[in-house]
Amino acid sequence: MSDAPSDLHAPHFIGIGGAGMSGLAKILALRGAEVSGSDAKESATVTALRAAGARVSVGHAAEHVPPAASCIVVSSAIRQDNPELAEARRRGLPVIHRADALAALMTGRRAIAVAGTHGKTTTTSMLAVALSGLGLDPSYAIGGDLDEPGSNAHHGTGEIFVAEADESDRSFHKYAPEVAIVLNVELDHHANYASIEEIHESFEAFVDRITPGGTLVVSADHPGARELTARVAGRPGLRVVTVGESADATLRVLSVTARGMSSEVVVELDGAPLAFTVSVPGRHYAHNAVAALAAGTALGVNARELAAALGKYTGVRRRLQLKGAARGVQVIDSYAHHPTEIAADLEAIRENAAGGRVLVVFQPHLFSRTQQLGTEMGQALSLADAALVLDIYPAREDPIPGVTSEVIIEAAHRHGLAATAVHSMAEVPEAVAALAREGDLVLTMGAGDVTALGPEILTRLGGVEAGA
């Protein structure tokens, strides 16, 4: 007997291997739905979905849509001429956006939706790990894997549902959370937002979706978040909890102290200091943990127990993930692709470089983002000691005339960074081997397929000494 929402009892996912789509497919399969889907290629995520009971085809073709499919689930990345989408329309099947499917799954649960331009995946993951560690067995849907492929989602028996809320296509307007987190508000996703004012209006609409009597947890430090707080101040039925180092923060961060690859955080809670460990490096991750603490506390979870449980979080795949070490060189993978994220991860790594150099292999993500923020990307990369810059990863976009990685490289040069263009992924391991020396840290950085280079770099350096 399936307890999936009505139209979702036999869903077919186009692009089922994607970070957001795969999580929903897994939860529905665990709820008893007859899940099918297609993806462009085989992957560890596809293998994990099959293990959960989903039927997955490789490639996109009309015949991949099962006769008994009850609906088609798509994300904004699916093109209108996709043959499976055309087949669904021919058969009159409902076409459901990924966000509507997630909203249906959250119905009847106490939902925490985590939003912001940066830090969503990490903060959602922190909550999932900590609440699970306390025995609350939450359901969760995350935009990245915790430790192994397929670990980005869980169908729990508890009343809490933690979800990453994506602002990129305004789909987070679909949710009605009891608690919403807004970590920061910046201009990004230039294909969908023409101005920072449009971004602010979108986040305001998200806040308006919080259920009456619910809570907004929002940064007290980030200028865009403070602007959002001012815009929503005084709304009836909304409790606002600000978090950060600012003197006026509701939950104030008193200190963040680096301890190797972790941090000790001290917050002021009910007039007294509360110290806990965050087992990943970087001030921005410490602030993510404090936002998670505030959100869990808003649902009635004991703050001191939750703080201790947050210390058990050791990271998510691709968020400063140690891939291994060889010849005295550590190789770390970073998903950072926006200038703010790039700078934050490089600052965090710099704190732990112990005198070694920080070398970056950077792959820009999207032509539109590079067109708008390429100069800022180059400036952010200048926090490294050297960078190899790959060609732009297009994802769903077509090229924009005149927009190449040279925009980033030229900006990096203006800020004193030795940045070099590399046009072939195959050339990177040799280039890194020629550049790196004992004690250095190498970051593979970007939201595209640059993540695949870590193991190849380690092999070229001469074998893996330690891995993650």
Amino acid at 167: E
Cβ(24)–Cβ(141) below 8 Å: yes
- First-residue to last-residue Cα distance in the chain: 39
Amino acid at 213: G
Amino acid at 261: M
Residue 6 per-residue DSSP state: G
Q: Which of 120, 123, 124, 229 is catalytic?
A: 120
Per this entry, what is the length of the chain? 468
Instruction: Output phi, psi for 451, to 5 deg.
Output: -60, -25
164 tagged catalytic: yes
Residue 109 per-residue DSSP state: S
Cβ(71)–Cβ(12) below 8 Å: yes
264 tagged catalytic: no
The SS3 call for residue 324 is strand
Q: Which of 164, 167, 178, 341 is catalytic?
A: 164
121 tagged catalytic: yes
Of all residues in the chain, what percent are helix, strand and coil, respectively (each to 5)?
35, 25, 40
Amino acid at 170: R
3-state helix/strand/coil string of 156-178 = CCCCEEEEECCCCCCHHHHCCCC
Interatomic CA distance for residues 122 and 133, integer angstroms = 16
Cβ(124)–Cβ(166) below 8 Å: no
Q: Which of 45, 121, 122, 229 is catalytic?
A: 121
Residue labelled with tokens 């800022």: 376
Cβ(298)–Cβ(239) below 8 Å: yes
* Token pair belonging to 234: 């005084």
Residues taking part in catalysis? 120-121, 164
